[in-house]
Structure 1
Amino acid sequence: MTFKQIVLLHTIIFLIVVIFNVTPWYFLMLTVAQLLFVPLTLQLILKKENRLYYYFAIPAFVSVFILQTTTNTNLDLLFATIYLLFTFLVAIYGLRRFIQRGFVHIEEFMIDAGMMYLFIGGVWFFASVTGIDTGFSPILTWLTAIHFHYSSFLLPIFLGFLGRLQKSTAYNMVCTIILISPIVVALGITFAPWLELISVVLYITGIYGFIVLAFQAPFASTLQKGLVLLSFGSLGITILFSLLYAAGNVFGIFHVNINFMLKFHGFFNCILFALCGMIGWSISTPPTKELGWNFPISNMKGRFFIGEKILSENIGTNSYSGLVDHMEMYVEREKLSPTIIDFYENTSQYKLFSEVRWHTWFKPFAAVYKLISSKVQQLNLPYSNKQMEMTGDIIAVEDGRTKTRAWIRKIEKEVIFVALYSSHQNNNKTYMNIALPLPWSSMIGILELHQQEEKLVLTSKGTSDSDAGIYLAFRKYVFKLPLQEQFLLEEIKEGKLRAKHQMRIFSFPFLTIKYVIDVKKEIDVK
């Protein structure tokens, strides 16, 4: 079934509902979203993946059709459940898209979030149809359902399409605002009118932000740009009346009632925002820039216990004394400190003294994590910030990558890290590819190496087309984690290094490890 055929089918279904509708007219604002805007927008995302449509969507849309064209029956619960199940499956699909990618490409996450938010709309629709006591009036229950079909489903997806055309720092900020606003709205409706007012102010900031971004975006045609701007611009008008309504609930000085909001929003949201937006984006739906991950991944996964035991069945035949064979594969050898080069090429000839510092805000989590890591024997960092010597060995292993060697680090006899070092090339750049086996999965650190005078920086933060990052590999999924790490190595004197390892989560620092690295014996540092 082509997109045009699906458009025709759903248009006919909705027109029949309009003719035989037995509910108050304003209920059609949600019905048109369910029978027209939701399925057609999903088609713009799914493209050829029509299994969701054929097996789950059609029963859901038939259920909505029956609910809107019949009076209350004993089967209303069944029909509402079918639609609820459909929105749940859409949310699962959105979650699956996210898990395959992780914390990257915020424009794709906007689409994922819209699909996941639809389930919340399905829950409120179910509550409205079945008469569940939500603590609110029936009209507010229904209004919450419509909110999650328009502002929480359509809007993030339209913004995702906009981001596929053009992204910037401002775009990331606008997306963050739009993502958190539905939650703040729900909290405001539930707990406090002033919180609802704050949510509207957030929406205003986000909406006018993406209107400006839409003016700057390179659309496929003038017609498409005009329709998308009309769609976004209509929200710029309706949100002002939402502000007056929310302010009236807080201060009691405005008189914008629900009846006015229904008529006003009914026209602007249904006709201008949703219909114009859907037509605009269907003229030329921007393709995703997501190409997936194609770097080599270690096939070595652990069970509950990692430690040295995981290496016993994967010992390689080669012999290595360093983490890399030749540093010139990463950097210009002549410009880097000779001791740093020698440390990476002859790692086993150096002693490490570490000082671990968990940042104050993270210490409660670190204490709980320590109970687990001490059993698993992986990423098993001490809770104390006392300087301790790390000992270890470098062992050749076979894990499906090239020239992989395991660096086992211990404090006394307790295993701290089992890290598998390899490398790969992509786009004429060589990355350090480090795997840490975890229970039934592995954490992958892809690091870029840069020189700062004679210092060396290893970082997981790269450009948009870089492989750099920290990932979790589980079965066929490779999920980019919201973690960043950076190593800075510098030579203090010949044969002695100082290193600083910083870890961040969502850009917030939570762990810093300082190292002093000494040569074990007198060697020729070349």
Structure 2
Amino acid sequence: MQDNLKKLYSPLSLLGISLFIITLIPINHVDFFIYLTVAQLLFVPLLLQCIVELKTSEKVIIAIGMLGVTLVVFNINEVLSITGAGLYLVATALISWIGMRRFLQRGFTNTAEIVIDIGLMYLVIGGVWFFAYIAGIDTGFTPLITWLTAIHFHYSAFLLCISVGFIGRVTTSKLYKPIVVVIASGPILMAIGITLSTTIEIVSAILYIIAIYVLFFVTLRTKFHRLQGGMIRLSIAAVCFSILWSVLYAYGSFTGQSIVDIPNMLTFHGFTNCLFFGGFTIIGWLIYTPTTNQCSFTFPVSQIRGQLKTKNEPYQGLVDDMSDFVSTEKMHKAIKHFYEHTNEYRLFASVRWQPWFWPFALFYKGISTLTQQINLPLSSRKIEMTGKIVTVDATMDSRENPRAWIRTINEKTVFTAIYSKHTTDHTYMNIALPLPFSTMIGILYLHVEDGKLYLTTQAAGDAGIYLAFHKFIIKLPLSEHFTIQATTETQLTALHEMKIFGLKFLKIKYDIQKAKTNDLKWH
């Protein structure tokens, strides 16, 4: 708590408090405008400092944005007001980049951190609508609706998403992930509904209110730090109350029978969100900010980007010794021999794309043809893959003993996969697929059962599919699973399945057979 109180007395926080007090001076201050001002000068900088340690340059840009808000409130002249709104827009863009930067350091892993990132990234949308209101830009809506949209993305998007993320750091509820999906997408869906369809608006509002009430239930069953629990539960209870006005307003728009109008929304919905939701949220998380359980990725990553340059020195197998990964006593010896003497085998593949993925597969085919990476055929007919395994310069790759398996179909490159391994809590197969300016990484966990070998990215620890570029490593929403089994002493089959966001989109069946010397097509 003492560390968070230091944030309350930080120069940025003290500046925000001072500026907010100053903004209460103008006698021509519009009453409802304060709902947005308090978020811009107090709630945003205070909550932001609970998430990240800001650089000095970032503090300066945010401080300038806060000064811009103050210029807007005093409304000295139109040019200064528009300038002030522009400065605040720049500050929100920076905060959104901080959210994007956090995401790029981690990717699609850790739901709690993702929703915090989303909350940070949403803020620039609020900044854009705020600027549009001050500059008098015609958004297709009344100026008041434009302003309400700005406040919507400060409270329902920024504040709520970050608060939900902090709750996710401490809760163990299985209801949490479904809540996140609805709440994180809610601000956009409701904005789309308001713009395009009252049906979308009311459906999204209903889903949103259900998620909010379930979230309140989750907070009741979550153990918080000392006095913090009461504050967080009161803040979510305030949203449970205020959201009813949104539903009634959406219902009125849908039926044409007004139940709640804009003045009512400002009086009850706006006031409740500002004082109770915003106020209790900030107090609650200032009492104690739960620490993230996200660890940095520490596994070795190939430094090869773009087209692979090899030594053209042949290598015998994908691995040197299968016993580095699994107990080979429980595995059929033909599987062990294939991985250690891959060049002695012929490979026949049958590729099947899921019907729902076909439009994406057609688009992807154009890209993969250019990059010559994961360049799979669209046809499902069985076809032979030929190729070679060659040595890769370890000083260029930076991983242990790398070797590249280059597979081709009709002399066109299909895969270029650089195999290595690493050991942390387990010894994993570490596979890199070079891409333009980046590298896709597959970290596979291996285990043996009933003589079969299973390789999967769906396991604890380092397992997963990642994209590395610049200094970022992103875990992708992809997964893959291999099942390798021997049918005879010299023949094997392999099934390769891939999913995106848990949906299967690709299946490849391989027939693998030990070749006679004259039949080998690895070159």
1:277 matches 2:281? yes
1:17 matches 2:15? no
1:193-272 to 2 correspondences below 5 Å: 193-221=198-226, 223-253=227-257, 255-272=259-276
- For 2:458, the equivalent position in structure 1 comes to 461
Provide the C-alpha distance between the structure 2 equivalents of 1:386 and 1:472, rounded to a whole number of angstroms: 30
Is the Cα contact below 8 Å between 2:86 and 2:131 reproduced in 1? yes
1:352-367 to 2 correspondences below 5 Å: 352-367=347-362
Is the Cα contact below 8 Å between 2:8 and 2:46 reproduced in 1? no
1:68 matches 2:66? no
1:264-413 to 2 correspondences below 5 Å: 264-302=268-306, 306=307, 310-312=308-310, 314=311, 320-398=315-393, 399-413=397-411
Provide the C-alpha distance between the structure 2 equivalents of 1:43 and 1:352, rounded to a whole number of angstroms: 55
Provide the C-alpha distance between the structure 1 equivalents of 2:228 and 2:357, rounded to a whole number of angstroms: 48
CA offset at residue 315 of structure 1? 5.6
Provide the C-alpha distance between the structure 1 equivalents of 2:195 and 2:411, rounded to a whole number of angstroms: 54
Residue aligned with 1:85, SS: helix
Change (3 A) 1:34 1:218: same
CA offset at residue 340 of structure 1? 1.2
1:413-452 to 2 correspondences below 5 Å: 413-427=411-425, 429-452=426-449
Change (3 A) 1:156 1:519: same
- For 1:3, the equivalent position in structure 2 comes to 7
CA offset at residue 252 of structure 1? 4.1
1:120 matches 2:150? no
Residue aligned with 1:292, SS: coil
CA offset at residue 82 of structure 1? 0.8
1:490 matches 2:494? no
- For 1:38, the equivalent position in structure 2 comes to 44
Provide the C-alpha distance between the structure 1 equivalents of 2:64 and 2:171, rounded to a whole number of angstroms: 37
- For 2:135, the equivalent position in structure 1 comes to 130
Q: Which of 495, 509, 514 pairs up with 1:514?
A: 509
Is the Cα contact below 8 Å between 1:90 and 1:118 reproduced in 2? yes
Q: Which of 40, 51, 55 pairs up with 2:57?
A: 51
Change (3 A) 1:459 1:125: same
Is the Cα contact below 8 Å between 1:21 and 1:69 reproduced in 2? no
Provide the C-alpha distance between the structure 2 equivalents of 1:44 and 1:150, rounded to a whole number of angstroms: 17
Provide the C-alpha distance between the structure 2 equivalents of 1:296 and 1:278, rounded to a whole number of angstroms: 39
- TM-score with structure 1 length normalisation? 0.93
1:103 matches 2:108? yes
CA offset at residue 452 of structure 1? 2.5
Is the Cα contact below 8 Å between 2:234 and 2:277 reproduced in 1? yes
Residue aligned with 2:105, SS: helix
Provide the C-alpha distance between the structure 2 equivalents of 1:340 and 1:482, rounded to a whole number of angstroms: 29
Provide the C-alpha distance between the structure 1 equivalents of 2:8 and 2:179, rounded to a whole number of angstroms: 32
Which residue identity does 2:163 align to in structure 1?
A: F
Bigger mean CA deviation after superposition, 110-119 or 161-170 = 161-170
Gaps (5+ residues) in structure 1?
A: none
Provide the C-alpha distance between the structure 1 equivalents of 2:363 and 2:46, rounded to a whole number of angstroms: 47
Provide the C-alpha distance between the structure 1 equivalents of 2:340 and 2:157, rounded to a whole number of angstroms: 53
Bigger mean CA deviation after superposition, 19-28 or 279-288 = 19-28
Residue aligned with 1:443, SS: strand
CA offset at residue 30 of structure 1? 0.6
Deviations 1:413-456 (A, max 9, x none): 222111111111112x1110001111121111001112231111
Provide the C-alpha distance between the structure 2 equivalents of 1:143 and 1:157, rounded to a whole number of angstroms: 20
Residue aligned with 1:184, SS: helix
Deviations 1:50-82 (A, max 9, x none): 4312x2111111111121123543322211111
Provide the C-alpha distance between the structure 2 equivalents of 1:369 and 1:434, rounded to a whole number of angstroms: 21
Bigger mean CA deviation after superposition, 280-289 or 208-217 = 208-217
- For 1:161, the equivalent position in structure 2 comes to 166
CA offset at residue 516 of structure 1? 0.5
Residue aligned with 2:9, SS: helix
Is the Cα contact below 8 Å between 1:473 and 1:479 reproduced in 2? yes
CA offset at residue 283 of structure 1? 1.0
Provide the C-alpha distance between the structure 2 equivalents of 1:378 and 1:48, rounded to a whole number of angstroms: 39
Gaps (5+ residues) in structure 2?
A: 518-523
How many residues end up aligned between the 2 structures?
A: 508
CA offset at residue 363 of structure 1? 2.3
Change (3 A) 1:70 1:414: closer
Q: Which of 26, 31, 35 pairs up with 2:32?
A: 26
CA offset at residue 488 of structure 1? 0.9
Is the Cα contact below 8 Å between 2:209 and 2:243 reproduced in 1? yes
Bigger mean CA deviation after superposition, 121-130 or 396-405 = 396-405
Provide the C-alpha distance between the structure 2 equivalents of 1:21 and 1:197, rounded to a whole number of angstroms: 38
Is the Cα contact below 8 Å between 2:193 and 2:199 reproduced in 1? yes
Is the Cα contact below 8 Å between 1:21 and 1:68 reproduced in 2? no
Provide the C-alpha distance between the structure 1 equivalents of 2:54 and 2:258, rounded to a whole number of angstroms: 49
Q: Report the aligned-residue RMSD.
A: 1.8
Which residue identity does 1:402 align to in structure 2?
A: E
Is the Cα contact below 8 Å between 1:410 and 1:417 reproduced in 2? yes
